Amino acid sequence: YELTQPPSVSVSPGQTARITCSAHVLAQQYAYWYRQMPGQAPVLVIYQDRERPSGVPERFSGASSGTTVTLTISGVRAEDEAVYYCQSVDSTGTSVVFGGGTHLTVL
């Protein structure tokens, strides 16, 4: 995968989860984040690094710094347990690229 994510992150309920995504291309291109629950299609939760689609709770936020973007989930709940994928565009600007996914475990 062209975008590098940690395979797993674990947090206790009510705490803050931070999931990172790194790649050189992220210094020039926006990042997008998706949540995928078991057996379901992914859902967009953050676009253009830090924007939240309507209907996504304010607990979800995004940030960008150089070649790393971060998805932050504040006040984590049991239902936030899922796999989170970052996405951007390749260096040619023509093809979508995904990170390998991060499994968020709520302890």
**Site residues (vs another protein, CB under 8 A):** 1, 29-30, 32, 34, 41-44, 47-48, 53, 85, 87-89, 94-101
1's CB contacts (< 8 A; 6+ apart) are: 97, 98, 99, 100
CA distance from start to end of the chain = 28
Q: Which is nearer to another protein, 16 or 37 (CB)?
A: 37
State the pairing for strand pair 8-11/102-106.
parallel
For the bound state, the minimum distance from the C-beta of residue 14 to another protein, rounded and expressed in Å, comes to 28
Least distance in angstroms from the C-beta of 34 to another protein: 7
How many whole angstroms separate alpha carbon 31 and alpha carbon 40? 22
Closer of 61 and 88 to another protein (Cβ): 88
Q: Closest separation between CB of residue 62 and another protein, Å?
A: 12
Which CB, 1 or 16, lies closer to another protein?
1
Beta bridge partners of 69: 21, 64
- Please give the Cα distance from 72 to 80 (Å, whole number): 12
Closest to another protein by CB, 12 vs 54, is: 54
- Least distance (Å) from another protein to the CB of residue 83? 8
